[in-house]
Structure 1
């Protein structure tokens, strides 16, 4: 790839307004400092409520370990994006993202500062009634959840280092929202949330 068409930094703990990724273009999501989760929602531009389904993505790829060579699918099983590069190799597509409700349940925390909030705010300028979306799943890039043999799950520090990235090629015109995860009560960001780099490319 040559020079990006567009590049921006998602500030630590924050988000950018949702943006359009045209069919055939590639979105690079980059862990700038290392050990930083980036929560991503993709949705067809012509039907933004048919957003990314983690369940169908794993089911139709027949794996829980989504990486280069796999396709991300919508709630209606439509292909949204192909993973064309992945230098990290460890991500979470099991659904869920930090929210006011999960933070209160797990940590007794007051509302404020969550990926769900970031993603909904990101989409608010593009989707009418976004604040009421039943948004409880996203692609959690660089997120590392260890699953034990008995099925037990534990959030552990990401294995991604500075500059690790995932490249997603749009299979149709997409609306994209990204949250630089603000969670600091568990090791999903190495206890020190940092910024996420975004860039778009055309081969």
Structure 2
């Protein structure tokens, strides 16, 4: 809600507010994907597998490094919540917050999905987006966001006072457990904040609250990725359908989503190497480490 200030406005308030914003992470030094090479590879794609995600459910899929995958609208407007893990190490998974900081609130072609610390490397690169025409609308909304976390039963219980088991968090937990043989309690901590595929979101201009509106996606639209490493993916067909009204219930019309996995001509990418994990030495400026640039402060969190 919009809050009324409790404290007096200082005399230099206007000057403080007029300071020039600075982009936190410069994209001039961020390694760019070779989109020209990936486009040549796209021209040779052969579909290898399709996975259908039922409404209000999730499914897992595996994509080898060097392959492509598409998330496709097949029957009606439907939002999907995407998780990605490194197939050989489920502790290395998609880090939506750092991806947002590096690329922005909404992703499209050329943006990459980065993994969590300590690896911090691209897991996948977006190579095609049939909704790239949408841009930002008059409400400040756009598609494919890394703002929202995923609908979950805990927030549902907090706000609505009852349990609902087909939130995307629960769907992804069940799917990961089924894929890996982990128990639900073991799988749940590995489920993480998502890329909201096809979801149209933004922040209200008055209260700056996270909003959703009906997705512009239509059957035949897709978001395509290049797998930088061997991937295990999980996709939930959100119970909110196109997220134009509500989620975390069975009220909205919901439709399946399809995942197609494609193999390019292997000769085109034969010289390509998986991206390395971060070269940071992980000493964190420990006490007595002469390489630390400054002494750590004490007594502050």
**Which TM-score applies when normalising by structure 1?**
0.89
Q: Aligned partners of 2:47, 2:122: CA distance in 1, in Å? A: 24
Bigger relative CO (Cα 8 Å, ≥ 6 apart):
1
Please say which of residues 98-107 and 127-136 is displaced more in the overlay.
127-136
Q: Deviations over 1:156-189 (max 9, x none)?
A: 1111111110001100001111111123686368
Residue 68 to residue 93, structure 1, CA distance change in 2 (3 Å): same
* Corresponding residue for residue 253 of structure 2: 192
* Corresponding residue for residue 49 of structure 2: 6
* Backbone CA RMSD of aligned residues: 2.2
The one of 94, 110, 116 equivalent to 1:69 is: 110
* Corresponding residue for residue 174 of structure 1: 231
1:99 shift after superposition = 1.1
Q: Deviations over 1:30-56 (max 9, x none)?
A: 122332111111011121122111111
- 1:201 matched to 2:265: no
Q: Deviations over 1:86-105 (max 9, x none)?
A: 11241121141111112223
Q: Deviations over 1:78-133 (max 9, x none)?
A: 21000000112411211411111122234344231111111111111326355343
Q: Do the aligned residues in 2 keep the contact of 1:156 with 1:187 (CA within 8 Å)? A: yes
Matched positions, count? 201
Q: Do the aligned residues in 1 keep the contact of 2:94 with 2:192 (CA within 8 Å)? A: no
* Corresponding residue for residue 39 of structure 1: 81
Unmatched 5+ stretches in structure 2: 1-43, 133-142, 265-301
| Partner SS state of residue 187, structure 1 | coil
Q: Looking at CA atoms only, which structure, 1 or 2, has the larger radius of gyration?
A: 2
Q: Aligned partners of 1:129, 1:75: CA distance in 2, in Å? A: 23
* Corresponding residue for residue 149 of structure 1: 205
- State how 1:79-158 maps to structure 2 within 5 Å: 79-89=122-132, 90-124=143-177, 125-126=179-180, 128-129=182-183, 131-132=185-186, 133-134=188-189, 135-150=191-206, 151-158=208-215
Q: Do the aligned residues in 1 keep the contact of 2:111 with 2:125 (CA within 8 Å)? A: yes
Residue 7 to residue 128, structure 1, CA distance change in 2 (3 Å): same
The one of 59, 68, 71 equivalent to 2:101 is: 59
